[in-house]
Amino acid sequence: MSASPANPLAGRLFTIRGLRVVLDTDLARLYGTTTKVFNQAIKRNAGRFPKDFAFQLTKEEAGVLRSQIVTLDRGGTHGDGNLKSQSVTSSLGHGGVRKLPWAFTEHGAVMAANVLRSPKAVAMSVYVVRAFMLMREELMTSAVIMRRLAEVDKRLVTHDVILRDIYEKLRPLLAPPRVQRKPIGFHVSMKKQ
């Protein structure tokens, strides 16, 4: 799913360490700046970005993410010719891993807009919040569906047990009746007196 004007972060939200995040390169592009300038502004204001707002990916996380991004967007560009990330797309021929990317949660993305202070960053922060809200709604809908499926599964198991019990009770009734036939021939019954 590629980004569209209506939803510039479509397909750019990832789950890392159990958190929904957006990468520094995608936020920089969205806020109208380069990744380098964006990350410098973040470093100058490091106190505003605790671990639950922003964190740097490990090499393993970047490797897993690289495979997801290459699958999402073959060719390594956002459609406007800008590379997504030097580090994440390094396997596309841009040298080795230079710097590991940063991941920003919803609160970190909004804080980044405040740090940058550009009119575009402030305006685009609304889109970021909406993208996270949409993702949260989709996850909640999925959770409700999974809970309902679990209830249906439990009910089916219960019904299966009840039906098996009914079948076992009806089984003797379904068998053909045994008819007692009289023996053929002449038989004298002797009674003892």
- Whole-number average pLDDT of the chain: 76
Q: Is the pLDDT of residue 72 over 80?
A: no
Return the C-alpha torsion angle 136, 142, 147, 150, nearest 10.
-160
Prediction pTM value? 0.53
What per-residue confidence (pLDDT) applies to 10?
66
Residue 4 burial by CB count (10 A; 0-12/13-18/19+): exposed, middle or buried?
exposed
| Residue 3 DSSP SS3 | coil
Indicate whether 76 pLDDT > 60.
no
Worst-scoring range by mean pLDDT, 29-43, 59-73, 164-178? 59-73
State the sign of the Cα–Cα–Cα–Cα dihedral 156, 161, 162, 166. positive
